[in-house]
Structure 1
Amino acid sequence: MSYSPTESLDRLYRLHHGWLLQWIGRRTRDRECAAELAQDTFLRLLSKPADLSQLRQQRAYLSTIAHALMVSHWRRADLERSYLQALAAQEPTAQPSPEQRLAALQLLHAVAEKLEGLAPRPRQAFLLARLSGLGYAEIGCRLGVSERMVKKYMAQAMLHCLRLRTPELISA
């Protein structure tokens, strides 16, 4: 039986929302976070109109989407935690206003999102160089690699950024 996209999503939600909530909850150990991520999973389906009634592995499909959302959530949380730790190390007089904090966090999230397609090591090297102002030798020490490897990582990161600005380079 074929359903309309809305009926398919409604049916998928009724059949699997409880299971998905538990699945995410076991991984996050946070009910509120699990509820948000479960809702975001179904919202993601709303933005991708498809015939969900034809899915053979519905739970696998939902868990794949939810897993990607969890990883993104954890990355954002790590980024926020790092930013707040860096702020705590500053003098109280150098603390930004709440508006400046929010703007900085939004900018950090935007940068992190753009760098998601980059491998972890080049991403770390890029962030250490650009945000912390570290030199290649110091980055190499932190990452446990040679300065030459850091240069390679930075070249990969720069190419990634260039491709984001000029998508036609992606096919090159």
Structure 2
Amino acid sequence: MYQSHHGWLRAWLHRRLGNVFDAEDLAHDTFVRVLRGQSVAQPEELREPRAYLTTVARRLLINHYERQSLERAYVVSLQSLPEPLVPSELDKAVLLETLRELDALLNAMPAKARTAFLLSQLEGLSYEDIAVQLQVSVRTVTRYMALGFSQCLRLMLQESCA
């Protein structure tokens, strides 16, 4: 599957991104995602592999654009800080890497779990309010939050071991 469709997928992504390096990275990530078993069917069983690869690649492309947007917002917010509060270049790099890791952590969670975690941590909503908004039980929100916190703990442990 990789040999048959990699070149085509890379060209498809290059047309959308205008950047061969990002296209190569996203094409690789697409195949990694498919081959890791996150797909509905095994790659050799797909009737329309290019349609499936396009769907997976489109999702990764959206994540790519979201990360770029997050990075641009971060840079803009830094530019608005008074001079004494502007972080050093090293601090900026560390913060940007942390933002990328948090983005990856959140994207690894199911959509409702991610939404519940963000509503709690950023909006300060109670579990009951989140349950109403997501139309799930409070117990389910509790499970979502446990998943979010375990993802954060996993990230922290990876950082301390690195």
| TM-score, structure 1 normalization | 0.59
The yes-or-no answer on 1:102 pairing with 2:86 is no
C-alpha distance in structure 1 between counterparts of 2:147 and 2:36, whole Å = 26
Contact 2:67 2:100 in 1 (8 A): yes
Match of 2:36 among 43, 47, 66: 47
Ranges in structure 2 where 5+ consecutive residues have no aligned partner:
135-140, 152-162
Q: State the identity %.
A: 31
Equivalent-residue separation in structure 2 for 1:154 and 1:102 (angstroms) = 37
**Distance (whole Å) between structure 2 residues aligned to residue 127 and residue 27 of structure 1:** 34
SS in 1 for 2:87: coil
1:9-158 to 2 correspondences below 5 Å? 12-48=1-37, 51-116=42-107, 117-118=111-112, 129=123
Stretches of 4+ aligned residues off by more than 6 angstroms:
119-128
Q: Conserved in 2, the CA contact under 8 Å of 1:21 and 1:38?
A: yes
Closer, same or farther: CA 23–122 of 1 in aligned 2, 3 Å:
same
* Equivalent pairs, count: 137
Q: TM-score, normalised by structure 2?
A: 0.62
Q: Which of the two has higher C-alpha Rg? A: 1
**Following TM superposition, by how much is the alpha carbon of 1:113 offset from its aligned partner in structure 2, in angstroms?**
4.0
Q: CA RMSD in A?
A: 3.8
CA distance in structure 2 between the partners assigned to 1:127 and 1:83 by the alignment: 19
SS at match of 1:96: coil
